[in-house]
Amino acid sequence: MTTSSEKAKELISLYNRTRPFEEILKSLSEDSKIEIPVIPDVPGKNSWSAEAAAKRQDFLESRTHKSLASLSGKSPMPDPETYKGNIESFIGMTQVPTGIVGPVYIRGTAAYGDFYVPMATTEGALIASYNRGAKACRLSGGITSVCLTETVQRAPLFRFHRLAEVGAFMYWILDKLDIFKSITLGKSRFAKLIDLRLNMEGNQVVIIFEYTTGDAAGQNMVTICTEAICTYIIEHTPIQPTHWFIESNYSGDKKATAVSFSSVRGKKVTAEAVIKKQYVKEVLSSDVPGIVQYWQSSSVAAVQSGSIGIQGHFANGLTAIFLACGQDVACVAEAYVGITRMEKNEDGDLYVAVTLPSLMVGTVGGGTGLTTQHECLDLLECTGPGTARKFAEICGATVLAGELSIAAALASGQFSKAHRIFGRK
């Protein structure tokens, strides 16, 4: 999961437009100690009564000053015309219950402070587990979460009669990047073509176009831009392909692939936390050596299974956040690929880190503007321009809380008990 020096410089430039990079590094360092404020807990977390639900809604609205009118059912359902661009042959709504995880305390480059994270799921025990992990992290000083870099790919394929034609075509393509960048600017206000790569196989070649897409997840955006570039190629190339396709199936769109794991697709986020052994015992009802031993053993088993990456249940948290916040849920197929690491540090505390190299998220476009989804994003203050990296860092931190909790449950033998309590009618 490497990043080129040019991409790294571009990312630092992006950070400097929000606040100085040196200030970001200082705020993330261990020497930058801050006192985490004591705040009231969300009321009635483990009560299913209507009264408890109303109290939680009132609590969140008073704490965040955000409206939950649509989420709580107080607002009427929008006109079906609202859903044009999101669905065809509309007949109604599939309702997925939404819970709240938090506060999740995050120290990131874009996300900083306490966040109440909405998660939509039908799996009992999930919200309780993430809340447990979030509590242990907050008591231990919070979670550092950083969006490292971002690109979205589209990978058209061009097929020729023989290998020599492919070589000539590639030679012609290589000095056209500036032209392709101009075409992109003419097709989108937000997409920016930053690089292209070539992958040749026999008499065909895949061109991997890499874009940034602002605050949108960007799959549709890069498709439109790539089509315009391909049209230019076909009109001007001296070597005409026998066939070409807008997507070769190389980009990893909605698939778990080694390519997206080893590079970047969407946003690459890494997060870490040091959980004090006191809270491993008091909150997680486990111990550091037991969790470390479980994670070591389960990592070996994951390798034996052929897993792309090693993690516990990224898909659980990401699916629930994606549903609540209007993301393309099918992108969990690629976003769940990643790495979790758990180690005992020199103080006997538990070091936990997660890395997600393929986090396809956005805060504009798609389903983010629908009523309940917009409310959930607004709860996180992740609506509108300039918030996608913040949302990605929140996703990374929340995933870490879930990894911590499930590892503790499995290490201490609580896993089945938790599902008996919360996962059955």
Structural domains of the chain, ranges and CATH numbers in brackets: 52-64+95-148+257-422 (3.90.770.10), 156-245 (3.30.70.420)
Residue 218 CB partners (closer than 8 Å, separation 6+): 152, 190, 191, 211, 362
Active-site position among 45, 55, 187, 254 = 254
Per-residue pLDDT at 425: 64
How far is Cα 376 from Cα 69, in angstroms, rounded to an integer? Answer: 11
Q: What are phi and psi of 207, to 5 degrees?
A: -105, 120
How far is Cα 410 from Cα 165, in angstroms, rounded to an integer? Answer: 56
How far is Cα 301 from Cα 304, in angstroms, rounded to an integer? Answer: 5
Question: Which long-range contacts link 167-176 to residues 24+ away (Cβ below 8 Å)?
Answer: 168/238, 168/239, 169/205, 169/237, 169/239, 169/241, 170/198, 170/200, 170/205, 172/237, 172/238, 172/239, 173/198, 173/207, 173/233, 173/237, 174/198, 176/233
Q: Catalytic annotation on 88?
A: no
Residue type, 86: N
Asked whether the beta carbons of 318 and 289 are under 8 A apart, the reply is no
Per-residue pLDDT at 217: 87
Asked whether the beta carbons of 344 and 289 are under 8 A apart, the reply is yes
Q: Up-side HSE of residue 11: CA atoms within 13 Å toward CB?
A: 19
Q: Which tens digit of pLDDT belongs to each residue from 134-149?
A: 999 999 999 999 998 8
Per-residue pLDDT at 423: 57
Active-site position among 165, 253, 272, 328 = 328
Q: Catalytic annotation on 178?
A: no
Per-residue pLDDT at 410: 93
Nearest residue to 257 via CA among 335, 313, 321: 335
How far is Cα 314 from Cα 310, in angstroms, rounded to an integer? Answer: 10
Nearest residue to 244 via CA among 212, 192, 203: 203
Greatest alpha-carbon pair distance for the chain in Å reads 73
How far is Cα 45 from Cα 134, in angstroms, rounded to an integer? Answer: 13
Cis bond upstream, residue 80 (ω within 30): no
| CB burial string 266-304: b at 16+ within 10 A, e below | bbbbbbbbbbbbebbeebbebbbebbbebbeebbeebee
How far is Cα 136 from Cα 285, in angstroms, rounded to an integer? Answer: 11
Per-residue pLDDT at 252: 87
How far is Cα 68 from Cα 376, in angstroms, rounded to an integer? Answer: 8
Per-residue pLDDT at 9: 65
Q: Catalytic annotation on 255?
A: no
CB atoms within 10 A of CB 33: 7
Nearest residue to 190 via CA among 363, 309, 331: 363
Asked whether the beta carbons of 340 and 312 are under 8 A apart, the reply is yes
The model's pTM: 0.91
Per-residue pLDDT at 66: 92
How far is Cα 159 from Cα 168, in angstroms, rounded to an integer? Answer: 13
Active-site position among 123, 247, 287, 378 = 123
Report the DSSP pairing between strands 143-154 and 98-108: parallel
Per-residue pLDDT at 132: 95
Consecutive 10-residue averages of pLDDT for the chain (425 residues): 60 61 64 73 88 92 92 86 90 92 94 96 93 96 93 95 95 94 93 93 95 90 96 96 95 85 87 96 95 95 91 95 96 94 96 95 93 95 92 98 95 68 60
Per-residue pLDDT at 20: 61
Phi-psi sector, 420: left (phi>0), alpha (psi -120 to 50), beta: alpha
Residue type, 18: T
Per-residue pLDDT at 18: 59
